[in-house]
Chains A and B, each alone.
Chain A
C-alpha cells in the first residue's frame, strides 16, 4: 500500500484524470470487495458495497486529508457500509419480512471452496465488531495500528476485540469439528 503513489493518483483524480481513477480503483477493488464479502457473506451485496464505497470516497475526495492513508479511509467506508447493510438487513428481518438477501447460500459459499465456506460460516457467527477486526486483520492484512485508524478505536480495543473474536472462533471450530 504505497502512500505516495496513492496520493499522486488522488491528485490526478482531482484534476479529472480518469486513467488515475482506474488505477486507484484497480488497486483497491479486490481487497474492498473481499472485506465486504467477508463481512456480509453475500457476493451481490459485497459488489454493491464495493461500488458504494468507491462512489462515496470519490464524491468526497475534496475532504480527503493527505495526513491519513487512502486505504484507511476507503476501508473505513467499506466496513461502515457493510455494517449499515447488516443493520438494514436485521431491521427487515425484525419487521417480519423474509430475509431479503440470505447471508449465506450454498452457491455463494461454494465460490470460495470448502475452506472458504467454513471460514465464512464461522465468521457470520461473530458480532459485527468482532467480524470487522478479523476481516481487517486476516483478509485485508492490516496492522493493529491501521485497524485502529480504520475503525477509529484505540489499539488496546483492537487487541481485546481480536482476542475475544478468536476465542469465539476457536469454540465454533471445535463445535463444527473443523481441524487444521
Chain B
C-alpha cells in the first residue's frame, strides 16, 4: 500500500509539476515499487485520455455576443453629464425633479394653439409635425385605376419643402414603390399615415409601401441636395400585386419644382 506522499509525488509527475529533485525522487520510487508503477501508469492513462480530446469549438457569434453585451466603465461614466455624480443622491434627484418642472413649463409655454381633434380622426401615426399641407394646391398628380384598386400620387408645396401624397383604396394587398431619386426630391419624413400600412420601407431613394383597404400616406420631401439626384425629372410609381407589376406611372417634377 503506497502512502499519500507517494501518491502526490506520482500525480505531480504525471502533471509535470516536479522540479529536478522531485523527478529524481519519482524515478527512485517507481523503480522500487510495483504498486507505484501501476498507480503511475493508471494516472497517466487517464490524463492522456483527457488530453486527447479536441477543444470544443465555440459558436461563431460568441465573440460578438460577448463584446456587444458589455458596457465599459468609461462609457458608463460619460452618462454622468456635468459631473452630477459627485453630488449626493438626494441632491441629484432634486435637481432632476426641478429640471423636469422647468422643462414642462417651457413646453407648455411653447406649444401652439392646440390640436384639432377632427384633424386627428384618421391619423394612426405621425412622425413629422402636422402641417396644413392639404390646403396647398396640387403641383402635379398621377391617378391610377386597376382591377380592385384605384388611387393617386399627388405633389403639393409645403413651405420650402414638398408633400407627396399617396392615396389608394384596394380590395386586396398591394405593393407600391415610389422612386424619388429621379425626381429631384429627397425623402424627409412620414408626415401622415391614415392607417397603418402592412409595411413601409425606405432605401436608396425609394419608398416601398404595402397595404390594403383605404389608405392615405403623406411623405414630406425636400429638394435633393445630392448632385446626382438634384435635377428635377420624374417621380416613378410602380404598383404590384403578388409580385407582379400591374401598373406604372410617373409624376413629372421638372417644371413643378421651379414654380
Contacts and interface: CB of A to CB of B under 8 A. Distances in A.
Interface string A134-164: 1001110001100000000000000110110
A83 interface: no
A24 to B, nearest CB: 10
The SS class assigned to the B binding surface is: helix
Question: Of residues B15, B46, B48, which shows the largest number of chain A Cβ atoms within 10 Å of its Cβ?
Answer: B46
Contacts of A18: 67, 72
Contacts, number: 128
A15 B56 contact: no
Given A15-B74, A166-B47, A170-B42, A34 B55 contact: yes
Interface string B43-70: 1011111111111111100110111011
Q: In which size bucket is the chain A interface?
A: 35 or more
Among the interface residues A26, A61, A170, which one has the most CB atoms of the partner chain B within 10 A? A170
A163 B7 contact: yes
Interface residues of B, number: 38
Interface of B: 4, 7-8, 11-12, 15, 17, 42-43, 45-59, 62-63, 65-67, 69-75, 77-78
Interface of A: 13-18, 21-22, 25-26, 29-30, 33-34, 37-38, 43, 46-47, 50-51, 54-55, 58, 61-62, 111-113, 115-116, 118-120, 134, 137-139, 143-144, 159-160, 162-163, 166, 169-170, 173, 178, 180
Given A51-B65, A112-B54, 12 more contacts: A21-B70, A30-B58, A37-B56, A50-B66, A55-B70, A119-B52, A139-B53, A143-B17, A159-B8, A159-B12, A163-B7, A180-B49
